[in-house]
Structure 1
Amino acid sequence: MGAAGGSGVLLFGVLWVALAGAVTDEPPAHTLAEVLFCQPARPSLGSTFTFDADQLFWFDFPRSRWTPRLPDFPPWPPALETPPQLLRDATFCQSLRRTLTEAVTDITPEAKGIPVADVFPVRPPALGEPNTLVCMVGNIFPPAVEISWQLDGVPVTQGVTHTHYTPTADLAFVRFSYLPVTPAAGDVYTCVITREGDNSSVIAYWVPQNPVPSEVLETALCGAAVVLGILLALLGIAMVLTARRSTHG
């Protein structure tokens, strides 16, 4: 599959393998997918292996090796798809992309997605306690965006890490960026997403809130419950007195 544009062509191939459930009449329970893409922008090549849209491995083309998404994953099975095999596929993809670029440039419209970003902490935030902010960027197409962080308008690079592009079911990509933080009152964290060749950016903000301590919240709730109980008791006494007066009358 591919998308053509005025500046070049993005090509990506998708290999889907459905794993059925115990009963054959049921729809597939899980899906494995391997996606290889090539494009004029950076990165020029990318390949990922996903399970139910969760990335398991990605191929590090500069080092010519499969890399697990998480360090505790088992290594890539050597016999499943060797680096030379994938490099041959990548070379064919680039050759085909150059041929299609020459054929369709300025003829077919360029497909682009507007990235959508969301920033959230890994753990429930607390002022003065270390945490990690996650910037989740979806609807990426083509997979060529830069993600950067700012604190109160000042760029932050210390400890920033990014994930590889992960394909989604709607033929787009998602990417994550992580920033270690120790939030303080008044901080404004910004995740900035820019696309190659564009003058516009997508920005998402996160401002730490000062949550009410749990002890204070429990005390307030207990006090409110006591007051409510007293009011209900007084209301009940008043209704009893009113009923007795009505009976005597």
Structure 2
Amino acid sequence: MGDMVAALLCGVLVAVAVGEPAPDPPPHLLSEVLTCQPDPPSLSLSVTLDGLPLFWFDFPGSRWNPGIPSLPAWPPALESPREILPESQLCREILGILGPNLTGQIPEGRAIPTISVFPALPPLPGEPNTLVCLVENIFPPVLDIGWAVGGAEVTRGVSQGPFVPSADLTFSRISRLSLTPRPGAVHACVVTSRRDNATMVAYWVAPDTALDEQLDTALAGAALALGVVLALLGAGLALLARG
């Protein structure tokens, strides 16, 4: 009996030591999505890894562009522009055949975009920075992104990214604005849908460090004054209690 108990305890200890096997990491998703549509941009082609843009094809320029600036150039021997153009032409032909026949027969997909505006670096007074406007949940991929500062349209220092497909069959797009933020200036990312003639705006206000310092000083003074009042009140109550 003692040997059996010892063997069981040994088995339990081994099971505890070994434990459950570590779960396999989730698989990575490398995808290439070609879209064609009546509205501009009529053609788009993107290669993504887990939803992150790796490369996108510039159809007017007939060349691959990196989705991340630090990436190396697209290998020339891998899916050259000569191989892509016939695929895009086939996509257009299919759209021309199916589009008129399916219009009004099936519901059109629509999504409500979400907008986020944030600086690429922590904002510092007088230091150049880049504002990023991230628009997600786009479908169909037809919208324009613009910028305004203090209510005035800005086009200088603006760069636009491609439509990037996501796993849920929607798209995202990024626009960047290079500038040196002025304290208190109001920056607006203006997103316009050409199909719906609708406009959405997201704002970012450059922090005013001088006002923050004044507020900190005022709060510190108020806290000190409140502490003095409470101390005097406590002393008065102590004197009354003794009397």
Deviation at 1:68, TM superposition (A): 1.4
Deviation at 1:72, TM superposition (A): 3.3
Contact 2:123 2:129 in 1 (8 A): yes
Q: Which has the higher contact order (CA 8 A, sep 6+)?
A: 1
Secondary structure in 2 matching 1:30:
coil
Deviations 1:205-243 (A, max 9, x none): 111222446xx89xx7xx99xx9xxx9xxxxxxxxxxxx
Deviation at 1:160, TM superposition (A): 0.3
1:177 to 168, 175, 178: 175
Residue equivalent to 1:82: 80
Distance 2:61 2:114 in 1: 31
Letter in 2 for 1:45: L
Deviation at 1:78, TM superposition (A): 2.4
Deviations 1:157-192 (A, max 9, x none): 011001111111111011001111222233111111
- Please give the root-mean-square deviation of Cα atoms over the aligned residues, in Å: 2.9
Residue equivalent to 1:193: 191
Question: Percent same amino acid at aligned positions?
Answer: 46
State the TM-score, normalizing by the size of structure 1: 0.73
Letter in 2 for 1:91: Q
Residue equivalent to 1:118: 116
Distance 1:154 1:113 in 2: 29
Contact 1:122 1:134 in 2 (8 A): yes
Contact 1:116 1:202 in 2 (8 A): no
Deviations 1:11-66 (A, max 9, x none): xxxxxxxxxxxx9x835432211111000011000001111111111011112111
Distance 2:59 2:114 in 1: 27
Letter in 1 for 2:166: T
Count, aligned residues = 206
Residue equivalent to 1:130: 128
Which ranges of structure 1 fall in alignment gaps of 5 or more residues?
1-22, 232-249
Which ranges of structure 2 fall in alignment gaps of 5 or more residues?
1-20, 232-243
Distance 2:80 2:155 in 1: 35
Distance 1:206 1:71 in 2: 25
Q: Which has the larger strand fraction?
A: 1
Letter in 2 for 1:26: D
Contact 1:35 1:167 in 2 (8 A): yes
Contact 1:126 1:210 in 2 (8 A): no
Q: Which has the larger helix fraction?
A: 2
2:37 to 36, 39, 64: 39
Letter in 2 for 1:53: G
Q: Which one is further off, 37-46 or 201-210?
A: 201-210
Distance 2:206 2:66 in 1: 32
Distance 1:63 1:210 in 2: 43
Alignment of 1:24-35 (within 5 A): 26=24, 28-35=26-33
Tell me, yes or no, if structure 1 residue 164 matches structure 2 residue 162: yes
Contact 1:128 1:184 in 2 (8 A): yes
Residue equivalent to 1:206: 204
Distance 1:184 1:78 in 2: 44
State the TM-score, normalizing by the size of structure 2: 0.75
Letter in 2 for 1:144: V
Distance 1:187 1:87, change over 3 A: same
Contact 2:149 2:186 in 1 (8 A): yes
